[in-house]
Amino acid sequence: MAKILILGAGISGHTAARYLDRWLGKEHQIVVVSPNARWNWIPSNIWVGVGQMTEEDVTFDLAQVYGKTNVDFRQARALSIHPEGEGGNHDPFATIEYTLPGKEGTIERVSYDYLINATGPKLNFGATEGLGPDHGHTVSVCTASHATEANKKLQEIVDALKRGERKTLVIGTGHGTCTCQGAAFEYIYNVDYILREAGVRDMARIVWISNEYELGDFGMGGVHIERGGYVTNGKTFAESLMVERNIEWIVRAHVKKVEAGKIHYETLDGQFHELEFDFSMLIPPFAGVGLKAINAAGEDITSQVFAPSGFMKVDADYAPRPYAEWSAEDWPKTYQNPTYRNLFAIGIAFAPPHLISKPMQSANGTPINPAPPRTGMPSAKMAIAVAESIRDMVRGAKAPTQTASMARMGAACIASTGSHPLRGTAVTMTVFPVVPDYERYPMYGRDLNLTFGEIGLAGHWMKSLLHHTFIYQAKMQPGWWLLPD
């Protein structure tokens, strides 16, 4: 009997667990470790953050769902992996620390034959002084509870606007190396919509601040789309949306420090600026969760297994080279660790070989460039591929059988710009491939027949439908495997 240990139960980890349970659960052992008691459909947190949904609408109890399966769920956080075992015992294991009430702080060893690192990111609010809802001066929509608190403060702003007070709202990224601009992008348009619905939009100044070189970069080096027989870029598309809604924007910006009511930021030209605000939602940078790797002799080999960012190394080409020499072939295909063949990393937990957007530094040497996105559809696709490979390896395959390179993978994104069954809108965009491939598509790096974007009410209906579809699927309701991931 093989034992498969999955660290993390977000989109990628839970997807891998669902499929492995379906394929192997009755014959082999599957253990899922997550510090969180509840699963969160993160794309809908932006609606929680403006009061259109509640925390209950976007979360559910993991233990209850796994209780209907063959999965052994443990509410705990992973501390370290020991891929060579310990001393004379070569059986690999991981150490975990329980977060379950009543067992908090209890340390346990969990052995494995195969391990999937799906721990996701550490929300690194500490990278920017004064950033974040816990010890800073900004709110967040990165978790459902953060989004609930964001909405509470937003409603206070709405009340003040109704009293005739003018307010400044700043939304975007809180560091020069952030990823996940898409969540902030959705949130700013939903805030704009909420203020319009409340009849107070004219009293509010809304400002977008981002580390993108241009609007519409999203950490993907921008995108070109064909509309009405003409090719336009994401910059023009994104700028038009902001102009139509009277949203100001600041790009090429690194937020250095946040004080109460004031953001200090540096721009790519090396200049330093200040921006006053009454409400601010800034996405933090991501880092690895801090997993350690220890060899059989008890020596720390974290730097061999993980990149400096804390994300796990996989079958990517990490050799440093100039931007002009980067290739789509650098990106991982199987997500298998090159040293320990029974280790895999998926979703945000794997270390990208390099940025997708062109690396930039300010005149002062400060990196100001978006990190590569690895969430949503790509996370699910690589999770399924790794689950299939492990299934086949358990059954005798000598190597991974499936691939899911982001340079050979498309992604669809539906970004809400206002939630209402009749007046809501959303941007619907597809990109193929996620990582540009200029050898196959020399002009734009992507296939324009499969890369497009539209905005309208139909997009809102689609996003709403997908919310309910993915919640149903994640709860492993009858026939869940028939639904697209």
User: Per-residue pLDDT for 187 more than 80?
Assistant: yes
The pLDDT score that the predictor gives to residue 172 is: 98
State the Cα–Cα distance between residues 430 and 378, nearest whole angstrom.
12
Position 230 confidence tier, pLDDT thresholds 50, 70, 90: confident
Find the domain containing 28 and state its range: 3-123+288-394
pTM over 0.85: yes
Please provide the size of the chain in residues. 485
Which one-letter amino acid corresponds to residue 443?
M
User: Could you tell me if residue 224 is inside a domain?
Assistant: no
**Inside any domain, residue 257:** no
> Under a CB-based contact definition with an 8 Å cutoff, are residues 166 and 204 in contact?
yes
| Adjacent-strand bridge partners of 71 | 30
Which structure tokens are listed for 186? 């959705």
Tell me: pLDDT of 443 over 80.
yes
What percent of the chain is modeled with pLDDT above 90?
Answer: 92
Q: Of all residues in the chain, what percent carry a pLDDT higher than 70?
A: 100
Ramachandran angles phi, psi of 212, nearest 5°: -65, 145
Does the residue 320 lie in any domain? yes
Helix boundaries (H) for 125-178 = 144-162
| pLDDT for residue 301 is more than 80 | yes
Tokens encoding 440 = 């196959």
Are 336 and 400 in contact by the 8 Å Cβ rule? The answer is: yes
In this structure, what token pair is assigned to residue 234? 């994401």
DSSP letters, 203-242, are GEEEEEE-S-SSTT-TTTT--EEEETTEEEEHHHHHHHHH
What are 442's two structure tokens?
Answer: 């020399």
Task: Assess whether pLDDT exceeds 90 at residue 87.
Answer: no
Q: Which of 369, 380, 290 is nearest to 42 (CA)?
A: 380
Give the chain's mean pLDDT: 96
Q: What CA–CA distance (Å, rounded) separates 242 from 86? A: 57
Cβ proximity of 189 and 245 under 8 Å: yes
187 secondary structure, DSSP code = H
166 domain-assigned: no
pLDDT band at 180 (very low <50, low <70, confident <90, very high): confident
CATH classification at residue 376:
3.50.50.100
Could you tell me which residues come within 8 angstroms of residue 384 by beta carbon, excluding any fewer than 6 positions away? Answer: 15, 16, 19, 402, 404, 485
* Mean pLDDT of the region 19-40: 96
Q: Which two tokens stand for residue 19?
A: 């499929």
Q: Three-class SS of residue 196?
A: helix
Angle at 294 between CA 393 and CA 27, to 5 degrees: 25
Alpha helices (runs of H) in 401-441, residue ranges in sequence order: none
What are the structure tokens assigned to 125, written together? 């609010």
Torsion of CA 245, 192, 126, 119, to 10 degrees: -100
Q: Does the residue 254 lie in any domain? A: no
| 32 lies in some domain | yes
Q: Is 137 left (phi over 0), alpha (psi -120 to 50) or beta?
A: alpha
Across the range 455-464, mean pLDDT stands at 95
Indicate whether 228 pLDDT > 90.
Answer: no
**In the numeric block, which tokens belong to residue 17?**
């667990």
Helix (H) / strand (E) containing 108 = strand 107-111
pLDDT digits (tens, 9 = 90+) for 357-397: 999 999 999 999 999 999 889 999 999 999 999 999 999 99
**Interval 79-84 mean pLDDT:** 98
- Domain total in the chain: 1
Please tell me the predicted confidence (pLDDT) of residue 372: 94
What are the tens digits of pLDDT across the range 107-127? 999 999 999 999 999 999 999
**Helix axis angle, 144-162 relative to 181-197, nearest 10°?**
30
DSSP 351: P
pLDDT at 476 over 90: yes
- Helix H or strand E encompassing 184: helix 181-197
**Residue 298 domain-assigned (yes or no):** yes
- Report the distance separating Cα 446 and Cα 435, nearest Å: 8
Asked if 435 and 332 count as a contact pair (C-beta separation under 8 A), the reply is no
Query: Max Cα separation, the chain?
Result: 73
The mean pLDDT of 232-261, rounded to a whole number, is: 95
Q: Find all residues with CB under 8 Å of 102, minimum gap 6, and list them.
A: none
pLDDT score recorded for residue 110: 98
At residue 250, what are phi and psi to the nearest 5 degrees? Answer: -130, 120
More confident residue, 77 or 453: 77
Strands 253-259 and 262-267: antiparallel
In a domain, 255, yes or no: no
Q: Is the pLDDT of residue 229 over 80?
A: no
Region 299-315: mean pLDDT is 97
